[in-house]
Amino acid sequence: MPDEVRSGLIVREMSGFFWVEAEDGQVYRCRLRGRLLEDAQISDVAAIGDRVTFTLIENDQTGDGVVESVEERTSVFARGARTEGARGSGEAVREHVMVANPEAVFIVTAAAQPAPDWAIIDRLLVIAEQANIPDVTLVVNKVDVSGLDEARATFGHYAAMGYDVAYVSALQDLGIEALRDRMRDRLSAFAGASGVGKSSLLNAIQPGLGRATKQVSNWNEEGMHTTRDSALIKLNFGGYLADTPGMRTVQLFDIDPEELDGYFRDLRPLVGRCKFNDCTHNAEPGCAVRAAVKAGTVSKARWRSYRAIWDELYAALEVY
């Protein structure tokens, strides 16, 4: 007879296999039950961070099992996946779940060297807003390069919107203990552009953590977005970390252009003041958003991010 149904947490995924950590701490390699695969056409039906039930395969001596069900998610940190064209270069036609059920998301940028990639920062914030992630922190690394005062001036508008902004330096061990406290005993996710010093930051949080997450990243097939090889790293001070590889672009999924301004915290309160209900905050008369940009109460960089994403989403609608 098959083993009894067990509960566990998906801590690793690679090439269609899922490693599930059971309640007793033992890890089992599992595949999805066939009926679950039928639901995986437009999104990842199972991902790291998912709570699942599974059974062991009858007469199997390797500890392999079968995922029977996936619990309802409380949140999903996900982006659009490209599944067509050379190296996955087609349109975003399915959801790529980076981590399920994150309790905290840390969006990492550098204060300088390289300069902040506002497009990636703002796209990741839109994803977090759409998913209603309970705790989102913008982590500004390398403040030893820019200076703390300059970093606060550069990123202060995010704090004014209500985001938590952590100013840190991996080199000087500045702000690191506070990050540990926010990650402790939680399922956390790190995401950000390439080259922002994420590995050094992770090593400062826990020795060897950057190397462990880089090993996970190397499982990925270069340039492809049709499969996900990822893992949760267990933290020695409690909790798990899902680290995503450095991003050069971020595609959104299942967002219509007309709802985009609702995911921009600084634009959202102004939308009702626009002259037209369907204002795109581009060239329409009586636009409260553009008036705020002109007055300096809304960052011009944020408005440009909004318009770039709006154009991208509208172009995708025209394709379909």
Range list for CATH 3.40.50.300 in the chain:
76-243
Report the pLDDT value the prediction gives residue 307, as an integer from 0 to 100: 97
Report the pLDDT value the prediction gives residue 7, as an integer from 0 to 100: 96
Residue 4 has pLDDT above 60, yes or no: yes
Report the top-level CATH class of 76-243: alpha beta
Report the pLDDT value the prediction gives residue 223, as an integer from 0 to 100: 37
Residue 49 has pLDDT above 50, yes or no: yes
- Band of residue 94 on the pLDDT scale cut at 50, 70, 90: confident
Residue 43 has pLDDT above 90, yes or no: no
Is residue 63 classed as helix, strand or coil in its secondary structure? coil
Range list for CATH 1.10.40.50 in the chain:
257-319
Q: What is the pTM of this model?
A: 0.86
Question: Hey, what are 287's tokens?
Answer: 């636009």
Residue 22 burial (CB < 10 Å; 0-12/13-18/19+)?
A: middle
Question: Hey, what are 237's tokens?
Answer: 């001070």
Report the pLDDT value the prediction gives residue 213, as an integer from 0 to 100: 64
Which range, of 26-30, 167-171, 173-177, 226-230, averages the lowest pLDDT?
A: 226-230
Q: Give the residue-averaged pLDDT of 75-96.
A: 65
Residue 252 has pLDDT above 70, yes or no: yes
Residue 92 burial (CB < 10 Å; 0-12/13-18/19+)?
A: buried
Residue 269 has pLDDT above 70, yes or no: yes
Range list for CATH 2.40.50.140 in the chain:
6-70
The CATH superfamily label for domain 6-70 reads Nucleic acid-binding proteins (2.40.50.140)
Amino acid identity for residue 219 in this structure:
W
Of 2, 111, 97, residue with least CA distance to 40 = 97
User: Taking a C-beta distance cutoff of 8 angstroms, is the pair 253, 273 a contact?
Assistant: no
CATH T-level topology, domain 257-319: Ribonucleotide Reductase Protein R1; domain 1 (1.10.40)
CA distance 264 to 268: 6
Residue 300 has pLDDT above 90, yes or no: yes
Residue 60 has pLDDT above 80, yes or no: no
